[in-house]
């Protein structure tokens, strides 16, 4: 069994992004800029945004976080997005999810200029992804594909089982795998007999938010296991959706939590923001 080391690869990608940022700065005088919208007091969201901001600082990006109270109005967030769409120093706009219940999330995501949509959540970019066109791809599944590529794991013709069908992870993960010629099954909360599906899979991609959802008896010998879950266990430790201790004895490759997919998500946010900045520079030329 080999560990898919996302921490190591994310450092390599950060070094590349930092280098490219320096080059861009010396050629154009500007650096990539990321605006983050953070609403309310959810501790996990604050922790994620903190990590994203630190990563921006490490690679030399400009970044700004718009922190808003839980009871902020829809209109006030919309105004901020419109401002960021117009701001030439901002290349990427990220709305940290989830948002409070009174906010219309879909409407906000659709308001982000598609060319600044570094999270890849705008229907324009979702459509480009499903049709196999270039665009912005959600950071977590994009990070998974980079990690597989780093270890020369080809998904072509493989039976891939995606567990969890969220817009952020499961659906774009399935689209990327399909674009790379895998045979893809998507399981979700209403799937009958999950084990039947996972046992047939050469590769399992799980992002369901359920501790120990994938157990040893649900995994084929030699399968590749990608754990996209992040959960807080009772003892306070971060754990994924896979019973790592037992499943790791049976599989060929596995991502640890932490240190697997998580750092790759942040690395891809940097990479997408750099891509947006380069596109904007080209447009201005």
Q: Which is nearer to ligand GUN, 269 or 277 (CB)?
A: 269
The question of whether 2 is a catalytic residue gets the answer no
Identify the active-site residue in 52, 116, 158, 220.
Answer: 52
Which member of 91, 116, 117, 119 is catalytic?
Answer: 119
Selection from 153, 152, 169, 170 nearest residue 161 by Cα: 170
Q: Which is nearer to ligand GUN, 31 or 99 (CB)?
A: 99
Q: Among this protein's residues, is 119 annotated catalytic? A: yes
Cα–Cα dist 200/222, whole Å: 12
> Phi and psi for 159 in degrees, rounded to 5?
-80, 110
DSSP string, 101-165: TTS-HHHHHHHS-GGG-TT--SHHHHHHHHTT-SS---HHHHHHHHHHHHTT---TT-EEEEE--
Taking the least distance from each CB to ligand GUN, the nearer of 118 and 155 is 118
**Closest distance of CB 119 from ligand GUN, Å:** 5
Query: Least CB distance from residue 138 to ligand GUN, whole Å?
Result: 6
Concerning whether 74 is annotated as a catalytic residue, the answer is: no
Instruction: Compute the least distance from the CB of residue 247 to ligand GUN, in Å.
Output: 24
d(CA 63, CA 36): 8
Footprint of ligand GUN (CB under 6 A)? 94-97, 119, 139-140, 168, 265
Which of 107, 224, 67 shows the shortest CA–CA distance to 160?
Answer: 224
Question: Is the alpha carbon torsion for 69, 70, 72, 78 positive or negative?
Answer: positive
CA distance 235 to 115: 42
Q: Which of these is catalytic: 96, 117, 158, 220?
A: 96
Nearer Cβ to ligand GUN (228/247) = 228
Please state whether 10 falls in left (phi above 0), alpha (psi between -120 and 50) or beta. Answer: alpha
Closest-CB residue for ligand GUN?
Answer: 97
d(CA 102, CA 100) in angstroms, rounded, equals 6
Least separation, in Å, of the C-beta of 197 and ligand GUN? 24
Q: Which is nearer to ligand GUN, 30 or 46 (CB)?
A: 46
Q: What is the smallest separation between the CB atom of 52 and ligand GUN, expressed in angstroms? A: 9
CA atoms within 13 A on the CB side of 254: 25
Residues labelled catalytic: 52, 96, 119
């Amino acid at each position: 069994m080999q560990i898919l080391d996302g921490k190591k690869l994310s450092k390599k990608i950060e070094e590349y992004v930092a280098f490219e940022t320096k080059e861009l700065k010396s050629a154009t005088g500007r650096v990539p800029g990321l605006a983050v919208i953070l609403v309310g007091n959810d501790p996990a969201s604050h922790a994620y945004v903190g990590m994203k901001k630190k990563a921006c600082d490490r690679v030399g990006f400009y970044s700004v976080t718009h922190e808003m109270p839980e009871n902020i109005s829809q209109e006030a967030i919309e105004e901020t997005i419109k401002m960021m769409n117009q701001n030439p120093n901002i290349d990427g706009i990220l709305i940290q999810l989830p948002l409070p219940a009174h906010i219309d999330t879909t409407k906000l995501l659709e308001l982000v200029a598609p060319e600044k949509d570094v999270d890849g959540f705008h229907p324009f970019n979702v459509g480009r992804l499903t049709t196999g066109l270039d665009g912005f791809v959600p950071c977590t599944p994009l990070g998974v594909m980079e990690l597989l590529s780093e270890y020369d794991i080809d998904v072509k013709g493989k039976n891939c089982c995606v567990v969890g069908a969220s817009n952020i992870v499961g659906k774009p993960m399935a689209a990327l795998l399909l674009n790379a010629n895998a045979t893809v099954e998507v399981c979700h909360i209403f799937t009958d007999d999950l084990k039947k599906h996972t046992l047939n899979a050469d590769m399992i991609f799980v992002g369901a938010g359920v501790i120990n959802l994938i157990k040893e008896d649900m995994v084929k010998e030699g399968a590749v296991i990608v754990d996209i879950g992040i959960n807080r266990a009772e003892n306070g430790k971060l754990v994924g959706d896979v019973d790592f201790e037992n499943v790791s004895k049976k599989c060929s490759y596995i991502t640890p939590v932490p240190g697997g997919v998580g750092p790759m998500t942040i690395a891809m946010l940097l990479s997408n923001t750099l891509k947006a900045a380069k596109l904007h520079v080209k447009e201005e030329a």
